[in-house]
Amino acid sequence: MLLTARSHCYKTHNGMGCQHGRAVPRLLVSTLAAILSIGTAFASDPAASTKKTWSSQVRDYAFQSLNDEHALSMAAIPLNGPGIEQYINADALMSPGSILKLVTTYAALETLGPTYHWDTNFYTDGELVGDTLNGNFYVDLGGDPKLTIERLWSTLSELRGMGISAINGNLVLDGDVFKLAEGLPVFDDNGNNPHAPFLVQPSPYLTNLNLVHFQVRADERGTQAWSAPSLNDVVIDNRVTAAAEGPCPARRNFDWEPIFHDDHRVTVRVTGELPQGCRTTAYLSVLPHEQYTASLIRSLLTDMGIEISGKSLLASTPEDARLLLKTTSPDLVTMVRDINKWSSNVMARQLLLTIGSEYRLDDDEDDRVAGIRVIYQWLQDKGVNTAGMVIDNGAGLTRHGRITARQGAQILQHAWNSDYSADLMASMPLIAMDGTMARRLRNTGLDGKGRIKTGYLENVRSIAGFTRDDTNTTWAVVGMVNNDPAWNGQAVLDRIIYSLHHRPPTGTTLSQAPTSGTEIR
């Protein structure tokens, strides 16, 4: 099966959000209409609704939509009220997409603890003489999944408060926090943008999600282009022409082409036509992590009027270096919310490395492998059968990840009873309200009635989370569609959520069992 990722990225109050997959609005409107019409038919004809079990109706609808009886895997379990467990192909190993982030984040909450945080420390091996630091400036990176430009600015600005205006030494980045002897698995994306935000790899040198935000605006003077952060290693070649006032065009009408030079600098050439009063933007990852971080720190120091004379190097911090500055991340609960609400691949992958580094054994040489081992053992200790499960990178952005709907539902059952269930649930998108569920199931009476993590890869659609029915019973639900194509799988999964709310499977609605077909219970 050929799987291809697509991404729609947008700015949020927390930074950058990405919804993987290609939206098909007209088709989704029609499929949503089909969901609503089916729900109406159930309500208007109760006798017809009991001719088949709830899961039989879902299975039939899935077959009509996907033309493959094995394309849907589903499990739904009532947690705190009446209802009968529902399973369709629940033991089939499926590609889960981003719902795998729930496993990683739930594991992190229980193994690291909700108050876990990351420290980034700044040291020197030199001395202060007047307004000059004579010595190297070491940045001991702690693996922070979201060390933002704002936090770096706030921390580095303390140097000005200390009266320092010059650093007579090298900028040294220390990335010893992670061991990655086996390297990182590369996602084979068939899209046309290898610099997209959702493809950013984790790294001990990760800062600001390794992204540059490019913008172009048109006015009566023509067009102006700029980037944030403004890095010396990145230059914009603005070839966008200004046009008369008119509707603002979509971002896809502009071409952003990175050109890489032998001196490791990058020129980003942008072309297109932009009406006056409009702007267009793009987020791109165009520099290696260590180069990006060094360039970012140098840029911030320059903005503060602090000159650093030496080179940018990668090395360990000396044992006798003196601590100058420190920045501490928000707690793990905050990080988990960012990961699940906006489906951040790089943050989830960074979190997996953190689990591995914290539980590294003496003979471990790779923190990704160690993190996966820790999660498997944690699940097995809970009694979850992990046979066939493949976590791979912790984010679900992989061709190799596998899980069954039954395994996923069992994990959600444990999460529901966890001491940190509220923290995990608060991190998940609210139906029809925010995150990656903001535009789904609108006008169906389900606004805020469930918290659902979504998954999007080409040929993969998935959901996992908690939803309430109209008697206020909460259900753990996991649904995965693996099909070519899978775009209409979203309608099937939305139908499951809709039906669980408006017509939950109870003893009445499951009075007649099917005589054959896919596993149904």
- Whether omega for the bond prior to residue 330 falls within 30 degrees of 0, making it cis, is no
Q: Tell me, yes or no, whether 108 and 124 share the same domain.
A: no
Q: How far apart are CA 382 and CA 517, in angstroms?
A: 32
**Assigned domain for 256 exists:** yes
Measured in degrees and rounded to the nearest 5, phi and psi for residue 307 equal: -95, 130
Measured in degrees and rounded to the nearest 5, phi and psi for residue 105 equal: -75, -40
Instruction: Show the beta-strand stretches assigned E in 40-109.
Output: 72-78, 86-88
Total domain count, the chain: 3
| pLDDT > 60? residue 33 | no
pLDDT at 512: 35
Q: Tell me, yes or no, whether 496 and 368 share the same domain.
A: yes
Output the average pLDDT for the chain: 90
Q: Dmax of the chain from CA atoms?
A: 88
pLDDT at 26: 42
**Assigned domain for 136 exists:** yes
* Residue range 279-311, pLDDT digits in tens: 999 999 999 999 999 999 999 999 999 999 999
Measured in degrees and rounded to the nearest 5, phi and psi for residue 201 equal: -85, 155
pLDDT at 440: 97
| pLDDT > 80? residue 327 | yes
**Assigned domain for 228 exists:** yes
Q: How far apart are CA 32 and CA 242, in angstroms?
A: 40
pLDDT > 70: what percent of the chain? 87
**Assigned domain for 383 exists:** yes
Region class of 383: left (phi > 0), else alpha (psi between -120 and 50), else beta: left
CATH number at residue 69: 3.40.710.10
pLDDT at 28: 45
**Domain of residue 167, residue span:** 119-182+291-328
Q: Tell me, yes or no, whether 443 and 311 share the same domain.
A: no
User: Quick count: other Cβ atoms within 10 Å of Cβ 230?
Assistant: 15
Q: Tell me, yes or no, whether 358 and 446 share the same domain.
A: yes
| pLDDT > 90? residue 51 | no
**Assigned domain for 516 exists:** no
Q: Tell me, yes or no, whether 379 and 423 share the same domain.
A: yes
Residue 275, CB-side half-sphere exposure with 13 Å CA sphere:
9
**Assigned domain for 499 exists:** yes
| pLDDT > 90? residue 23 | no
pLDDT at 190: 85
**Assigned domain for 511 exists:** no
Q: Tell me, yes or no, whether 351 and 395 share the same domain.
A: yes
- pLDDT level of residue 188 (50, 70, 90 thresholds): confident
Q: Tell me, yes or no, whether 304 and 317 share the same domain.
A: yes
* Residue range 335-358, pLDDT digits in tens: 999 999 999 999 999 999 999 999
* Alpha helices (runs of H) in 427-488, residue ranges in sequence order: none
pLDDT at 243: 97
| pLDDT > 50? residue 171 | yes
**Assigned domain for 342 exists:** yes
- pLDDT level of residue 44 (50, 70, 90 thresholds): very low
Q: Tell me, yes or no, whether 109 and 124 share the same domain.
A: no
Q: Tell me, yes or no, whether 267 and 236 share the same domain.
A: yes
Q: How far apart are CA 294 and CA 296, in angstroms?
A: 5
Decide: residue 413, CB within 10 A, 0-12 exposed, 13-18 middle, 19+ buried. middle
Q: Tell me, yes or no, whether 385 and 453 share the same domain.
A: yes
Q: Tell me, yes or no, whether 161 and 305 share the same domain.
A: yes
